[in-house]
């Protein structure tokens, strides 16, 4: 159920291990570098298995700046405006890595760290637990944070991702997985049909920093409450789409906070592949690969161009630490952060 091999060596000479977890009809490859989902194979209606995520053939591209292909990102996913926040009366300055702002934990965030293997469960539903201990001051964040990422593949053809975290001082935490999905296994994702159980989204300014409010999706290109082709309105004359050069926004789910419920469904009709998404998180960042420009070369030599894949990054709302009206992302000593996201694969 679990295979392991050495994928290469990190900059300090330590081995980067690749684990392959197989159950049901799917197989997931996980790297200890960045606790990264480096591949995910799922069958089409004819039984042909293809990788439905973007990833690299070797380790070298993962060791330099890349668009977080399959990475675990943190401490705080998404953007923090002006790379700073105030907590308990003290202002913290973070690493700025997207203009004046902070993105996905900073330039050497969790995606660049070599995680420790804590547990390998080679049962019928194989699981892998990886750990990173983020020291106080890392990328400017207060307090030490111990983070576990647990990947599990089930006999029901589900990829289950769970995050756990504890701290020794108050700190913001908002973890997500940054996989890029293409259920066709090639081409672009504009013909994929997406359904989101969300009637509100988070509008942003020209730097993609939230205003601290939500808006209804009704009557806008952001409305995916009914299954809609991703490309149907991506080029619409809409200010928010112009800002993101496509979809790069957070949707707020209609479900109760903290409940594990199905919130999204992605379908590629030609192949028959379907991915349903369930999560405990309150929102999801839909990113349609707007800045992929063909410079990245994937496993089979394919260059990843614009809209080659999309991300469904389940998470808390972006820049929550600077907006009192958003659900809090502050973790304090004695608390345990725990979030779950399940990707369920089937064929239509």
Three-state SS at 195: strand
287-346 pLDDT, tens digit each: 999 999 999 999 989 999 999 999 999 999 999 999 999 999 999 999 999 999 999 999
| Distance from the Cα of residue 246 to its chain's centroid | 18
Cβ(105)–Cβ(76) below 8 Å: yes
Give the pLDDT confidence score for residue 1 in this predicted structure: 85
Give the pLDDT confidence score for residue 60 in this predicted structure: 97
The confidence band for 5, taking pLDDT boundaries of 50, 70 and 90, is very high
196-208 pLDDT, tens digit each: 999 999 999 999 9
Q: Is the pLDDT of residue 47 over 90?
A: yes
Give the pLDDT confidence score for residue 158 in this predicted structure: 98
Share of the chain above pLDDT 90, in %: 99
Give the pLDDT confidence score for residue 218 in this predicted structure: 98
Give the pLDDT confidence score for residue 300 in this predicted structure: 87
CA 290, 295, 297, 301 torsion: positive or negative?
A: positive
Cβ(289)–Cβ(189) below 8 Å: yes
Give the pLDDT confidence score for residue 327 in this predicted structure: 96
Examine the residue annotation and report whether 178 is marked as an active-site residue of this protein. yes
DSSP E strand boundaries for 96-181: 102-103, 116-121, 127-134, 145-153, 158-167, 171-172, 176-177
The verdict on whether omega for the bond into residue 55 sits within 30 degrees of 0, i.e. cis, is: no
The confidence band for 17, taking pLDDT boundaries of 50, 70 and 90, is very high
Of the options 2.70.98.10, 3.40.50.2300, 1.10.150.80, 3.40.190.10, the CATH number for the domain spanning 2-347: 2.70.98.10
Catalytic one of 102, 104, 313, 343: 313
Cβ(52)–Cβ(40) below 8 Å: yes
Q: What is the mean pLDDT of residues 39-57?
A: 98
Give the pLDDT confidence score for residue 185 in this predicted structure: 96
Domain residue ranges in the chain: 2-347
60-100 pLDDT, tens digit each: 999 999 999 999 999 999 999 999 999 999 999 999 999 99
User: What's the N-to-C CA distance of the chain in angstroms?
Assistant: 26
Catalytic one of 102, 104, 111, 178: 178
166-194 pLDDT, tens digit each: 999 999 999 999 999 999 999 999 999 99
- Averaged pLDDT score across all residues of the chain: 97
Give the pLDDT confidence score for residue 257 in this predicted structure: 85
CA 11, 7, 138, 80 torsion: positive or negative?
A: positive
């Amino acid at each position: 159920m679990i295979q392991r091999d050495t994928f290469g060596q990190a900059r300090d000479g330590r081995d980067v291990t690749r684990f392959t977890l197989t159950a049901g009809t799917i197989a997931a490859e996980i790297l200890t570098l960045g606790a990264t989902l480096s591949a995910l194979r799922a069958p089409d209606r004819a039984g042909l298995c293809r990788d439905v995520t973007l990833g690299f053939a070797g380790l070298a591209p993962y060791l330099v700046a890349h668009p977080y292909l399959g990475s675990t990102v943190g401490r705080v996913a998404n953007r923090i405006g002006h790379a700073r926040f105030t907590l308990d009366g003290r202002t913290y300055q973070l690493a700025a890595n997207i203009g004046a702002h902070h993105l996905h934990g900073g330039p050497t965030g969790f995606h660049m760290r070599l995680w420790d293997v804590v547990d390998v469960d080679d049962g019928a539903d194989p699981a892998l637990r990886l750990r990173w201990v983020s020291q106080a001051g890392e990328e400017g964040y207060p307090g030490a944070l111990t983070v576990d990422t647990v990947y599990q593949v089930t006999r029901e053809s589900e990829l289950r991702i769970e995050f756990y975290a504890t701290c020794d001082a108050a700190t913001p935490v908002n973890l997500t997985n940054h996989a890029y999905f293409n259920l066709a296994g090639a081409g672009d994702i504009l013909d994929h049909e997406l359904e989101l159980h969300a009637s509100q989204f988070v509008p942003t300014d020209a730097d993609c920093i939230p205003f601290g409010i939500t808006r209804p999706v009704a009557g806008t290109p952001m409305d995916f409450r009914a299954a809609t082709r991703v490309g149907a309105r991506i080029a619409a004359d809409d200010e928010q789409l112009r800002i993101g050069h496509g979809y790069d926004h957070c949707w707020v789910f209609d479900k109760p906070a903290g409940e594990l419920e199905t919130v999204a469904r992605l379908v590629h009709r030609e192949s028959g592949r379907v991915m349903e998404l369930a999560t405990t998180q309150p929102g999801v960042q839909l990113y349609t690969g707007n800045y992929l420009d063909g410079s990245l070369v994937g496993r089979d030599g394919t260059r990843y161009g614009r809209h080659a894949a999309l991300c469904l990054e389940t998470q808390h709302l972006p820049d929550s630490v600077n907006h009192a009206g958003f659900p809090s992302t502050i973790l304090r000593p004695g608390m345990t952060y725990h979030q779950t996201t399940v990707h369920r694969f089937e064929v239509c």
